[in-house]
Amino acid sequence: MAESQARKRVVDSDKVWTTLITNLDYLSGLLTLHHSLQRVNSRYPLVALYTDAFPEEGHAALRARGIATQHIPYLLPTKGRDYSNDPRFYDCWSKLTPFSLTEYARVVQLDSDMLVLHNMDELMELELDPPALSETGSRETSTRVFAAGHACVCNPLKKPHYPKNWVAANCAFTFQHATPDAAQTEGIDPAVGPLGFMNGGLQVVNPSAVLYDQIVAHMEADATNMEFADQSLLSDLYRGRWVPLPYIYNALKTLRWKGVHDPIWRDDQVKNIHYILSPKPWDEINDKGEWTGTEESHKWWIDANRERKALETEKGINDRF
């Protein structure tokens, strides 16, 4: 019997949020993500997907808070690309694992550097193609393999190792500046603009062993050409076959910056903010627990984190996380 068939769910629900954790650096983010899901009264549990590298201290922190965990193998191509400019991409391959979790009917993968601001349980009911249809590989019959938000390809920090075509004119969000009201509820068609590139921070998936085999085969065949790991793979393998979500479900913090995509950003509409790039909000807390940053959106996380810790103290949880 295949491993995916033999596995049992680690929670009662067949629909789950998942998030990858490989080290302690992102643990505070995961804990506050979990708190934010509870704060908005999500009906669905969060499952922390951990790899062998995740230490016992981290497991103890998750157990203390009642967060379900599930072991996954660390996914890495046999022959991969050099990500020394962005080492985080080595871990990102493992974010493809939700496609393999066939013990669940629906998995919504979240990055640990996210903060849920409003309930988004509707993603658990979002219409996707049934796996049997998605597995065919036909763009004529299957157009809803998974759902995700677009990547912002503006490269506002002007990172020199990013592709030369990552400019505002090629960014999907740029095409929504003239229709900001629609941007709150509609994703831009991946066919608009030349790139059609997704961001892997949030993925809505109907798991399938066949799809996962397709993904791994594509990774092994072409990983050296995939500049952004999982994001490059899914954008290429399922080009034109994924559902674009409005930015509010994966609101990259840089979209809010003046001169990037502030014309479409509305604080009160954002359901889930994604703290991409460095520094992370938890990097801006000093030894006294004081916030040392200046970016307003980071303070949303700082406030939620402070609230989480206060509730945990009441329950007798006083570890360093």
Q: What is the pLDDT of residue 140?
A: 80
User: Which amino acid is present at 166?
Assistant: W
Q: What is the pLDDT of residue 5?
A: 52
Render pLDDT for 285-320 as a digit per residue (tens, 0 to 9): 998 889 999 999 999 999 999 999 999 999 999 999
Can you tell me the distance from the alpha carbon of 44 to that of 108, in angstroms, rounded to the nearest whole number? 10
Per-domain boundaries in the chain: 3-151+196-314
Q: With a cut of 70, say whether residue 4 has pLDDT above it.
A: no
Confidence of residue 1 (pLDDT cuts 50, 70, 90): very low
More confident residue, 237 or 140: 237
Confidence of residue 2 (pLDDT cuts 50, 70, 90): very low
Q: With a cut of 50, say whether residue 137 has pLDDT above it.
A: yes
The radius of gyration of the chain's CA atoms, rounded to the nearest angstrom, is: 19
Render pLDDT for 93-110 as a digit per residue (tens, 0 to 9): 999 999 999 999 999 999
Q: What is the pLDDT of residue 190?
A: 86
Q: What is the pLDDT of residue 51?
A: 97
The CATH class that applies to domain 3-151+196-314 reads alpha beta
Confidence of residue 73 (pLDDT cuts 50, 70, 90): very high
Compute CA distances 201 → 42, 43, 96, 227, 276, whole Å.
19, 21, 11, 16, 9
What is the overall mean pLDDT for the chain? 95
- Percentage of residues in the chain with pLDDT exceeding 70? 98
Q: What is the pLDDT of residue 274?
A: 98
pTM of the full structure:
0.96
